[in-house]
Structure 1
Amino acid sequence: MTELFRFAQPLALAVALPLLAVLIWRVWRLPRVFGRRHRAIQVVMITAGLCVTLALAGLELGHRLDRLAVVFVLDRSRSVDEGRLGPTSGDAARSAVTAIRDAVPTMEPGDQAGLVIFGANATTELLPSPEPPIGTPRASVPRDASDLGAGIRRALADLPAEHTGRVVVISDGVENRGDALAAATLAAGRGVVVDVLPIEREPRPEVAVESVRLPRTARPGEPVELRVVTRATVATRARVRVMRGGAPIAEAEVDLRPGSDVLVLRDEAPDSGVHRYDVLVDPLDEGVDSGRDNNEGGAFLRVLGGSRVLVAGDAPEENEALVRAIREGGLEVATADARTFPTDLGELATYDLVVLADLQARGLTEEQMLALSSYVRDLGGGLLMAGARRSFGLGGWAYTPVEEALPARFDLRQRRDRLSLAMIVAIDKSGSMTIEAVPGRTKLDLANEAAARSAMLLSPADRVGVMHVDTAVTWTQPMVSVTDPNAIAARCRAAQPGGGGIDVDVAMPAAYAELRAERTQLKHFLLFADGDDSQGLSGMREVVAASVRDRITTSIVSMGAGPYT
């Protein structure tokens, strides 16, 4: 809020002011039957009338915001690899980081800057702070798609309320997921300016599917029209294939004109349910297309029938009453847990509502979360989250695609009534942690990222330390109050592997000794170790038992399923 005050209902003020004037006139003319108390009664009644008037008008007090918070939103999708930023040439991402780094010193005292990166989804690289450690992004996002809207929404969520907000988007503007215009409209509604620093792409021959459009709903057997919007830089001939539910239903050769073109195809609506249509456009001429990554598109058709609900939870027996109540309402209900939760958007689209009934975030994969977020954002599917500690505990859903789909945040750093926490994270940096755990990321990468995200969830009242361990302890981050979570996260992500194995009997005693010296209300030790190769386990049960007596809790995460898991 930049005004000293404002009225949420100004029309109510216009109506109430004349009534207040009448009240003042009537009160002032009260007969003086109360003696010396007459004036006090007049003041009290007029003051009460004024308070009621201001309440009806929705008076909101504020303070002027002369401090600026800027969140840079950096495009990391593959489409920017061949682009350039301004007059520079070469790596656009590197040029963008340089531009951001050069902009930070120009900020006024009290201003803050942060960084969000996005591809198929968005994640926070750096929370806004006065001196963010701008460098090559270490957080990762899927690069096979571009959701600019998710990047803007993530930036809006990161902006501190006590600053005037601004978002700077650095992108080529090529979007094949989400709705950037809707996100920009949301920003405008909050008074946040969105600026754009464009990444320019060299002109090249291209054939692309820009959109596939279908009616929202149809009746079984009803004719439906499929409109495919294509874009081509030159006239060419192409083969168009259409699939419904993965099965081919039509194929034809068509002539594409330069610029945008619209192909109209027809089908008959199948049985009730949600059906996915996929369209693939293959140019038949050589040299008219630079790649096939944007030659296909899809859309969903809902054929009207009974409504379906998916109830997903970790404890099916606890959800029986909920499932029974929904069925008694005449709805069809399916159940799932984290293992059987859909990973495909098409499967999710067969449901009108998804209920997460005390489902833990850690049970869902990134792919499942992205599908659920797209189901809500792009298809307008319903999402109800109900639960307790398993789902609403600190951290689980924070900074995930599912959080973006909800009207609430799971970041509790602003809470003033939380108990203070001291936490030490120990990470196995032995040679075996360099084994690839998921495509493109090693076990150490995942552990470092987990430590970084843990630090981002803490508040300035908390303290954290991070050690990397093989046969000796290396303090990546000595114990410190979490006043700059960005710097702590950057140190975690930058840690490199060591050698040999991990001596658990070195890491645990060192961590517990450090925690015993802390004066916080809660103390926790978190260990990430390779499940295939650990040493020095003898006597550790007794060490952990002793820490319990000191009110220190312990969590151990096995990186990989091995003999030490």
Structure 2
Amino acid sequence: MLPFEFTRPALLLLILPIAAALGFWFVRSLSDFPIRQRIASLVTRSIICLLLVLALAGLTWLHRTHEQFVLFVVDQSLSVGANAETTATEFLKQAADNKGSHQVAFLPFASTIGNVQDEPVVYGATPSILGKPKSPVEDIPPAGGTTAEQLAIRDGTNLAAAIEAAAAHLPPGYVSHIVMLTDGNQTDGNAIAAAARSRVPVTTIPLPMRAEPEVQVSAVEVPTEVREGEPFFVDVTIHSNHDDEGLVEVFRGDHKVISESRALKSGENRFRFQQSIDRDRMAAFKVRVSGLKSDTLLDNNADSGLVYAAGKPRVLIIESDPDLIRDLAYALEDEGIQVDVRPPQGMPDTLAGLQNYELLMLSNVPATALTQQQMEITRTWVQELGGGFIMLGGEQSFGLGGYYKSTLEEILPVRSDFEKEKEKPSLGIVLVIDRSGSMDGDPLEMAKSAAQSAVELLGNRDQIAVLAFDDQTYVISEMQSASNKGKISDEISRIESGGGTSMYPAMEMSFEILNSTSAKLKHVIMLTDGVSNAGDFEGMARKMVSAKMTVSTVAVGGSADTQLLESIARIGKGRYYLAEDPSQVPQIFAKETVTASKSAIDEQPFVPQVLRVTHALQEIDMEAAPELLGYVMTRPKPTSEVILVTGKGDPLLVWWRYGLGMTAAFTSDAKRRWADEWMKWPGYGKFWTQVVRQTMRKSDTRGMQIA
């Protein structure tokens, strides 16, 4: 073993560039000194540089030693009994007398850390922990302090802080050892983690806890910040060395808000009380335990926590028809929540715009009304900034709104695809895609992706065909069962661009294909970005309607013949879409596919069923809740929490945590189409208030305490 070591050995590599620089200087020097003098100068410079590098690398000389430095860390908290104090005092005196050639020191601690001293720790009327600090920066009151101050210092046991302080006081050059005398009644910190970090052997000598009956309120934990009216919990920890029963009281300022008789078992007892702040900007919550059968020290039977109220929470509701959601907004405002209602055009498109709110709610807003940027900003706001997000059901929500595989579906706790019921009518659908030269690049790739998503949304009883056109019409995938999803998707992926734009023959072929199927519902989706060659499009649309078919059209970009496409959709009893950005096409196809299947909505009245009991439904009589008149069918994601279900077991209220935030899906609505009876229910406002408060952004900082 070498007699030295380096604390920063990587810095030894500096020798190489320094040696090169010195060699270059020696060879290229223009000095006219004699060679001997130049060599002497080189040696001197080299030695100086070497010493500097060794110093930077932390050269340390090692020598063997058997001399120990033992630091006795002594618990002087109130939980240490009188018998333990006597035992500890005798043990420490013997350690001091028998130290021999070794070094010993003593460190008293309780809730705070005392000063290292050479003499054994003193118990009794004035314990060492109350001694005058040797350093003015150590915040330990002098022995002449008040009884309350002294009790505050001794009312707790911070083992972790004691170990960290002891490790910091150990001098180099000794075999170090920490010996802890404690009853192990830890009230703060993590002693095991602190011992592991110290890398110093730690021996514990257990001291018996106070034999006299003792109960103390060890901790009152509250959030440092909440929103006005937001429910939060006051978490209380009470330690007892015997079984007892007492009255636990919670005070907000001078006002008693809770008074409950609670049984206390020997050891740690934890209790949780829900509270809220309605008007005060700052509130102190004091917890006191009294009426005990037996207790020795009364001064440690109370503790407090401080909470700051940061004003009313703000919620932004985006609704296609804002007037229809006003009743929900008024109900939330009656419960102390500030609400802004906007149409989709008012959706923020920056993080700064969303940061003004704790929660964003979308009510019956299709994905096509939002930009990809707005969706991505919402995801970032939830995931990284803790925002809350709720989507309500409606004829333009979830799958019906085109959210399948969208950025917003990623953050939702439900999926827009679902198992189609057997009694639902089968769908025959033909996708007609423009593959002309102008579609090359993103437009065609997005169209192919949209077609593949449409296939995934179809049930096994549905049928699909895919056509593509330029100057000619191509059968990409023949009419077949949608259960062949892999085969159809692979065929779609092979579409390539080229040629002109002749859409009428493709429309005519789609009619012939659908006319030969047995599907109950028949639908065509036509997509193009240009102006087609002439054809009797309107006549063909009327012919399709007569055959009980519907036609929807999608214009990609501003160069398409929007007037013609809009006319075809109107006559064909379908829908017309203008996708200014090709990235909107997948949402449009998803929306059209689900809408055409007429299977995503169930409008049979049902009474919501509670599947999972949660505090968000506290004090709400869900058994008295009236019927809802419909909902959008979805599937819960594997790690989500399903709270309410429909009469058929489909998800109604589902939530989960996404990153730092929380999102929820309510598959019915909160307005008169499906919630007409609910809006007359006395629990309507309370239900939505508690769901909103559960989901919205909230502070998770805990632990501010005051003595």
TM-score w.r.t. length of structure 2: 0.35
Question: Which structure would you say has the larger RCO, counting Cα contacts within 8 Å and 6 or more residues apart?
Answer: 2
Quick check: which one's strand share is greater? Answer: 1
Larger radius of gyration: 2
